[in-house]
C-alpha cells in the first residue's frame, strides 16, 4: 500500500479546519501522512490547531516563520513529505470518504501519474449550488484557456514535483504548475466522480476579481512567455470561460 501525503496550507480557517481534517482522518484509505503548513504571522490560531490535531498521529504541523502564501507553503510541505503520492487540500474544502481510495486505485490501474476528480461547490449552508465534471487534459492547449482542475481534487506522483514547483503567486499558482507539467508531456486524467466539496464562501484572495486578473495575465505573459497581445487574448478567454461557469 502506497503512502499518500496530504498537503494543507493553513491561513485563518478556524471555522472550517475541523471539518476539513475530519474528512481526511476518516478516509477509507488509511496510509496517509497529513502535513499542515501554518502560514500566518499571527500565531493566535496555532494553539487551537495543535489541539485539534492531537487526535491523529499522522498529522504534522509545519510553522512558517513568515507568511509565504499558499504556493510556497505547498512547496515546503512537498519537500518535507515522504509519500509516493501527493494529494492537495485547501483548509476549507472537504473530501468524501472514499476519495483517496477511488483515486489511487484508478491511477494504479491505469498506470497514470496525475489525476483530478469531479467536485461540487457548496455555499455557507453546505448546500450544493453547482458541480464541475472532471475531464482529461492531455495537451497544453486542452487547458490553457480555462483552469478546469479543482486543486483539492488533485493527486500526483511526487516525482513530478521534485523540479516542478508552485510559483509565488497569490492566485492561479496551481494553474501555472498544471500548464508547466502539461508542457513537459505529463498527462492529466479526470475521474468523473464527485469526491470533493469546494467551499464557495471563501474569504480569501481567491475571491478577489482584480487579483485574479492580475495573476491571470502573469500566467500567460511571465510564465508562459507570451507577448502582451497574446497574453491579453488568453486572459480574455480565461475570464470568459470563468463567467460561463
Full 3-state SS string of 164-200: CCCCCCCCCHHHHHHHHHHHCCCCEEEEEEEEEEEEC
Chain mean position to CA 144: 17
pLDDT class of 168 with cuts at 50, 70, 90: very high
55: left (phi over 0), alpha (psi -120 to 50) or beta: alpha
Q: What is the tens place of the pLDDT at every residue in 28-60?
A: 999 999 999 999 999 999 999 999 999 899 999
Q: What is the mean pLDDT of residues 204-227?
A: 86
Residue with cell 494543507: 8
**Whose CA is closest to 10, among 82, 65, 73?**
73
Structural domain contains residue 23: yes
CATH number at residue 111: 3.90.550.10
Structural domain contains residue 188: yes
- DSSP H or E stretch at residue 155: strand 155-157
**Separate counts of helices (H) and strands (E) for the chain:** 8, 9
Q: What is the tens place of the pLDDT at every residue in 7-28?
A: 999 999 999 999 999 999 999 9
Q: What is the mean pLDDT of residues 136-162?
A: 97
Structural domain contains residue 217: no
Structural domain contains residue 228: no
pLDDT class of 80 with cuts at 50, 70, 90: very high
| Count of CB atoms situated within 10 Å of the CB of 230 | 13
Output phi, psi for 109, to 5 deg: -65, -40
Q: What is the pLDDT of residue 126?
A: 81
Average pLDDT value for the chain: 94
Tell me the percentage of the chain whose pLDDT exceeds 70. Answer: 97
Report the DSSP beta bridge partners of residue 222.
Answer: none
**Whose CA is closest to 173, among 52, 88, 82?**
88
228: left (phi over 0), alpha (psi -120 to 50) or beta: alpha
pLDDT over 60 at 81, yes or no:
yes
CA angle 50, 57, 203 (to 5 degrees): 40
Q: What is the pLDDT of residue 16?
A: 94
Residue with cell 500526483: 156
Q: Are strands 189-199 and 155-157 parallel, antiparallel or unpaired?
A: unpaired
Tell me the percentage of the chain whose pLDDT exceeds 90. Answer: 89
Number of domains in the chain: 1
Is 74 within 8 Å of 167 (Cβ atoms)?
A: no
Is 219 within 8 Å of 176 (Cβ atoms)?
A: yes
The parent domain of residue 37 ranges over: 4-202
Q: What is the tens place of the pLDDT at every residue in 90-132?
A: 999 999 999 999 999 999 999 999 999 999 999 877 888 999 9
Q: What is the pLDDT of residue 244?
A: 74
DSSP letter at 145 equals T
225: left (phi over 0), alpha (psi -120 to 50) or beta: left
Structural domain contains residue 232: no
Structural domain contains residue 216: no
Amino acid at each position: 500500500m502506497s503512502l499518500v501525503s496530504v498537503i494543507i496550507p493553513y491561513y485563518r480557517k478556524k471555522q472550517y479546519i475541523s471539518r476539513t481534517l475530519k474528512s481526511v482522518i476518516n478516509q477509507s484509505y488509511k496510509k496517509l501522512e497529513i502535513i499542515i503548513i501554518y502560514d500566518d504571522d499571527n500565531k493566535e490560531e496555532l494553539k487551537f490547531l495543535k489541539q485539534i490535531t492531537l487526535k491523529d498521529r499522522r498529522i504534522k504541523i509545519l510553522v512558517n516563520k513568515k507568511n509565504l502564501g499558499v504556493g510556497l507553503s505547498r512547496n515546503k510541505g512537498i519537500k518535507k513529505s515522504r509519500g509516493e503520492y501527493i494529494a492537495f487540500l485547501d483548509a476549507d474544502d472537504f473530501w468524501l470518504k472514499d476519495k483517496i481510495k477511488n483515486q489511487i486505485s484508478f491511477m494504479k490501474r491505469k498506470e497514470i501519474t496525475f489525476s483530478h476528480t469531479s467536485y461540487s461547490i457548496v455555499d455557507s449552508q453546505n448546500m450544493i449550488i453547482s458541480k464541475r465534471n472532471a475531464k482529461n487534459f492531455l495537451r497544453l492547449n486542452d487547458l490553457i484557456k480555462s483552469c478546469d482542475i479543482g486543486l483539492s481534487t488533485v493527486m500526483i506522483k511526487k516525482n513530478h514535483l521534485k523540479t516542478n514547483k508552485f510559483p509565488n503567486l497569490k492566485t492561479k499558482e496551481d494553474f501555472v504548475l498544471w500548464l508547466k507539467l502539461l508542457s513537459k508531456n505529463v498527462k492529466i486524467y479526470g475521474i468523473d466522480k464527485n469526491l470533493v466539496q469546494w467551499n464557495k464562501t471563501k474569504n480569501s484572495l481567491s475571491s478577489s476579481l482584480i487579483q485574479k486578473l492580475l495573476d491571470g495575465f502573469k500566467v500567460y505573459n511571465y510564465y508562459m512567455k507570451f507577448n502582451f497581445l497574446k497574453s491579453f487574448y488568453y486572459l480574455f478567454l480565461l475570464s470568459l470561460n470563468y463567467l460561463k461557469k
